[in-house]
Amino acid sequence: MVTVDNRIPALPAEEYERRQRRAVSTVPALWDLLDEVKDPEIPVISLWELGVLQDIEQRGEVVVVTITPTYSGCPAMTVMAEDIVVALQAAGYKQVVVDTRLSPAWSTAWMAAAAQDKLRAWGIAPPGCGSTGVAAVCCPRCGSPDVRELSEFGSTACKALYQCNSCAEPFDHFKPI
Amino acid sequence: MNAANTHEAVLHYAVRLGDDSLVLGHRLSEWCSNAPFLEEDLALTNVALDYIGRARMFYSYAAELSGDGRSEDSFAYLRDCREFSNLLLHELPRGDFAFTMARQYLVDQYALAFMEALLESADPQLAGIAAKAVKESRYHLRRSRDWMLRLGDGTAESHRRLQVAVDELWGYTHELFELDDLEQALVAAGIAVDSAALRPAWDAAVRATLDEATIVVPAGDWSVRGGRQGIHTESLGHLLSELQFMQRAYPGLEW
């Protein structure tokens, strides 16, 4: 009998493939290098952890980085692409191309538990449960599940604005999509 | 259709969908710093961003298909009214908050079904754009439908304004479900959405929402059409004069 404790957490197929691309990559050093490139608006998680970084390939002198946009009009995407180019050029890779891939569409389900915990520590209620196992939106300050939505949209396209009824702290919730 | 015809038709189709998104995105962006309260200001401008992002994806694809050096900016900034092919509903002036939310609700209810259907397109790039848009439209609809109920079933004044808005908008909704030859050919090729087929479900959903919002469904005895053929209301020119001002005044300007 399968019990809750020994089930393997379901990983979306496209996220499995993304992790495989990194695992079998012939240029692991480039992936490690780009781990230093963070979300410009949430500087505690990397583009890899966010799920935006899809693939890195070296074709001769050219490094081709494939990213997938979070929201269609997210203004941070341009900054992310620029930050990738700057990081690679600083490491001596002069020719960098950043490609945008739309499909599969980005999903917060690609964000690992550790990254979700980082969001919470930064004051943002993560899209999933992280290591807590609690799926509900909880206050990132006091942990209370007694919260209310103030607005479907927060400071950026990917977040909604909430307030904690227990400690009165307003906070952003990273919307699950 | 042969391959060359299909290629050209998909280019036009992508521009049409880009025009719908850009024009509505611009209308929503006009609320920036003008919304009734801060949270709504954020919401309207975030939805605007989603639409402008959609326009960029459709125009970029059209530019790639054109292969003649045009960019997404050429489509957005260097065409005049008659070359814009957006459905008229998207270009109507933003009006008051009730008008903006009623239009948004009618569009969201349509866009969600449209994007769900476009997911099945034989054109992988269009299907890819739909995959992004469908998640956003689902969220947009949740909010705009909620506003329909709050305004319709709210105060006497909010009810009155919403009824006026729905009455003014209704005649522009018929065009959403009409296909010209180009779109019919693309439907036959499995690429475009058969928007006429979306009407029964849209009608049922919208009527249910209007009922719940205590709003009377308009009689539907007048209709305006022409957007896909470049025949627009007088408001589009004013919109473009603002949208395109920088590129017209300073050709080739980049940030």
Reported as a single tens digit per residue, the pLDDT across A88-131 is 999 999 999 999 988 888 999 888 888 899 999 999 999 877 77
Three-class secondary structure assignment of chain A? CCCHHHCCCCCCHHHHHHHHHHHCCCCHHHHHHHCCCEECCEEEEEHHHHCCEEEEEEECCEEEEEECCCCCCCCHHHHHHHHHHHHHHHCCCCEEEEEECCCCCCCHHHCCHHHHHHHHHCCEECCCCCCCCCCCCCCCCCCCCCEEEEECCCCCCCEEEEEECCCCCEEEEECCC
Question: Which amino acid belongs to residue B73?
Answer: D
Residues 6+ apart with CB under 8 A from A44: A38, A118, A119, A121, A122
Cβ of A177 and B135 within 8 Å? yes
pLDDT at A3 over 70: no
Taken as a whole, chain A contains a residue count of 177
pLDDT of residue B4: 83
pLDDT at A137 over 80: yes
Three-class secondary structure assignment of chain B? CCHHHHHHHHHHHHHHHHHHHHHHHHHHHCCCCCCCCHHHHHHHHHHHHHHHHHHHHHHHHHHHHHCCCCCHHHHHHCCCHHHCCCCHHHCCCCCCHHHHHHHHHHHHHHHHHHHHHHCCCCCHHHHHHHHHHHHHHHHHHHHHHHHHHHHHCCCHHHHHHHHHHHHHHHCCCHHHHCCCHHHHHHHHCCCCCCHHHHHHHHHHHHHHHHHHCCCCCCCCCCCCCCHHHCCCCCHHHHHHHHHCHHHHHCCCCCC
Mind telling me how many Å the CA of A103 is from chain B's nearest CA?
5
B53 touches chain A (CB under 8 A): yes
Average pLDDT, chain B: 96
pLDDT of residue B235: 97
pLDDT of residue A55: 95
Contacts of A69 in chain B (CB under 8 A): 53, 132
Q: How many CB atoms are closer than 10 A to CB B234?
A: 9
Q: Are B18 and B62 in contact (CB under 8 A)?
A: yes
B107 touches chain A (CB under 8 A): no
pLDDT at B88 over 60: yes
The CA radius of gyration of chain A, in Å to the nearest whole number, is 18
Reported as a single tens digit per residue, the pLDDT across B122-133 is 999 999 999 999
Residue of A nearest to B127 (CA): A103
B206 touches chain A (CB under 8 A): no
Contacts of B142 in chain A (CB under 8 A): 152
Cβ of B50 and A157 within 8 Å? yes
pLDDT at A1 over 70: no
Reported as a single tens digit per residue, the pLDDT across A76-91 is 888 999 999 999 999 9
Q: How many CB atoms are closer than 10 A to CB A4?
A: 6
pLDDT at A6 over 70: no
Question: Which amino acid belongs to residue B56?
Answer: R
pLDDT of residue A71: 84
Residue of B nearest to A160 (CA): B43
Residue of B nearest to A75 (CA): B49
pLDDT at B7 over 90: yes
What number is the average pLDDT over the span A151-159?
85
Cβ of B128 and A102 within 8 Å? yes
Calpha distance A168→A171 (Å, rounded): 9
B35 touches chain A (CB under 8 A): no
pLDDT at A136 over 80: yes
pLDDT of residue B122: 97
Query: Sorting pLDDT into bands at 50, 70 and 90, what band is B165?
Result: very high
Q: For an interface test with A, which of B49, B119, B126, B140 has the most A Cβ atoms less than 10 Å from its Cβ? A: B49
pLDDT of residue A105: 87
pLDDT of residue A156: 83
Query: Sorting pLDDT into bands at 50, 70 and 90, what band is A75?
Result: confident
pLDDT of residue B196: 98
Calpha distance B213→A108 (Å, rounded): 33
Which chain A residues in 115-174 lie under 8 Å from chain B, judged by CB atoms? Answer: 150-157, 161
Mind telling me how many Å the CA of B243 is from chain A's nearest CA?
17
Query: Sorting pLDDT into bands at 50, 70 and 90, what band is B84?
Result: very high
Calpha distance A2→A15 (Å, rounded): 24
Q: For an interface test with B, which of A80, A152, A163, A174 has the most B Cβ atoms less than 10 Å from its Cβ? A: A152
Reported as a single tens digit per residue, the pLDDT across B28-49 is 999 999 999 988 999 999 999 9
Residue of A nearest to B41 (CA): A153
pLDDT at A140 over 80: yes
Closest by alpha carbon to B174, among B84, B110, B231? B110
Question: Which amino acid belongs to residue A127?
Answer: P
pLDDT at B230 over 90: yes
Q: Are A71 and A60 in contact (CB under 8 A)?
A: no
Among A114-128, B13-27, B142-156, whose mean pLDDT is lowest? A114-128
How many CB pairs below 8 Å do chains A and B form together? 73
Q: How many CB atoms are closer than 10 A to CB A146?
A: 12
Task: Among A103, A155, A157, select the one facing B128 at the smallest CB separation.
Answer: A103
Residues 6+ apart with CB under 8 A from B198: B110, B113, B114, B117, B177
Instruction: Give B199's Cβ-side CA count (13 Å radius).
Output: 11
Reported as a single tens digit per residue, the pLDDT across B49-67 is 999 999 999 999 999 999 9
More confident residue, A77 or B157: B157
Closest by alpha carbon to B75, among B244, B242, B191? B244
Query: Sorting pLDDT into bands at 50, 70 and 90, what band is A157?
Result: confident
Calpha distance B14→B84 (Å, rounded): 12
A72 touches chain B (CB under 8 A): yes
B133 touches chain A (CB under 8 A): yes
Mind telling me how many Å the CA of A30 is from chain B's nearest CA?
27
pLDDT at A9 over 70: no
